[in-house]
């Protein structure tokens, strides 16, 4: 009987984490570039009370007699499908269609990655530097900050589909700049570690970042200037998942209550 208490408790703990995951998805429904998560479950160890098997005379059990010990969460998997493209008409807003990520300086000499292309401009030593909303440098294909001359009118800045930069001069001539936004992909995108602030970093599971400009075998991503990629969270789906998780939590609590009542009846047998 005690086994059922711990088994049901594992179900309650797991469903609580499931609700936490769904709540995080719903909280980020308007977060630029956010990718929804899904919690994965695995059953816990099974106790074999009697094994299946027959002797030479055909006597024995045709099936195993086993009892499970509940459930555990084993991982959160992100869904990297594209979100809805939202037009902003801001020349510094850039959306990615495809599997690519922007490369961002992590303020400690390393690199982190994001799908959030809501960039800004900072004035540094008389030049214009492309940065993220929280002040991190956007890197180019040479892993250097993207610097623009102070004479360039940002309203006339052009960001092409492959990440190359240009601007329209005073005589309406398109002038190509010697800058290109770095876009990378990963062999196992679900191996990335989320850091918050729309940032990810590599792990041993994700493998190193692969620059699209250096690998012709990759399906190239496309950049869309003047747009942002919205969250891919579907509110209706998350609400349905929330109801299911709540009911599963409730059923597990009922199992604990039933086990407690059965133990109470067993203890009262001598009376």
Does 149 have pLDDT greater than 70? yes
Average the pLDDT over 110-126 and give the result. Answer: 93
pLDDT at site 119 = 95
Percent of the chain with pLDDT strictly greater than 90: 69
Does 96 have pLDDT greater than 70? yes
Average the pLDDT over 210-223 and give the result. Answer: 91
DSSP for 49-114 reads EE--EE-TTS-EESS-EEEE--EEEEEEEE------EEE---TTBEEEESS-EEEEE-SSSSEEEE
Chain segment 219-259, per-residue pLDDT in tens? 999 999 999 999 999 999 999 999 999 999 999 999 999 98
pLDDT at site 215 = 87
**C-alpha Rg value of the chain to the nearest Å:** 27
DSSP for 7-66 reads HHHHHHHHHHHHHHHHHHHHHTTTSTT---EEEEEEE-PEEEEE--EE-TTS-EESS-EE
Cβ–Cβ < 8 Å for 244, 121: no
Chain segment 41-82, per-residue pLDDT in tens? 999 888 888 888 877 677 777 888 888 889 999 999 999 999
Does 1 have pLDDT greater than 70? no
pLDDT at site 225 = 95
pLDDT at site 91 = 93
Chain segment 23-45, per-residue pLDDT in tens? 999 999 999 999 999 999 999 88
Chain segment 170-203, per-residue pLDDT in tens? 777 888 999 999 999 999 999 999 999 999 999 9
Q: What is the mean pLDDT of the chain?
A: 91
Confidence tier at 266 by pLDDT (50, 70, 90): confident
Number of neighbours of residue 55 by Cβ within 10 angstroms? 7
């Amino acid at each position: 009987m005690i086994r059922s208490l711990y088994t049901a408790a594992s179900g309650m703990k797991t469903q609580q984490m499931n609700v936490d995951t769904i709540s995080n998805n719903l909280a980020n429904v308007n977060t630029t570039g956010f990718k929804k998560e899904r919690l994965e479950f695995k059953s816990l160890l099974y106790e074999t009370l009697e094994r299946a098997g027959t002797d030479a005379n055909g006597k024995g059990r045709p099936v195993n007699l086993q009892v499970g010990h509940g459930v555990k969460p084993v991982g959160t998997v992100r869904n990297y499908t594209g979100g809805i493209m939202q037009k902003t008409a801001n020349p510094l807003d850039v959306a990615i269609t495809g599997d690519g990520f922007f490369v961002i300086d992590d303020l400690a000499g390393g690199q982190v990655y994001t799908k959030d292309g809501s960039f800004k401009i900072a004035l540094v030593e008389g030049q214009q530097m492309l940065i993220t909303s929280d002040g991190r440098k956007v890197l180019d294909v040479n892993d250097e900050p993207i610097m623009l001359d102070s004479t360039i009118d940002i309203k006339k800045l052009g960001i092409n589909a492959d990440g190359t930069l240009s601007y329209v001069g005073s005589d309406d001539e398109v002038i190509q700049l010697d800058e290109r936004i770095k876009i990378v992909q990963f062999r196992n995108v679900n191996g990335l570690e989320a850091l918050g602030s729309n940032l990810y970093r590599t792990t041993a599971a994700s493998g190193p970042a692969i620059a699209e400009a250096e690998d012709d075998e990759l399906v190239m991503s496309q950049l869309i200037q003047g747009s942002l990629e919205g969250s891919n969270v579907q509110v209706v789906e998350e609400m349905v998942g929330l109801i299911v998780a709540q009911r599963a939590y409730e059923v597990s609590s009922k199992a604990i209550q039933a086990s407690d009542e059965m133990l109470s009846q067993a203890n009262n047998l001598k009376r």
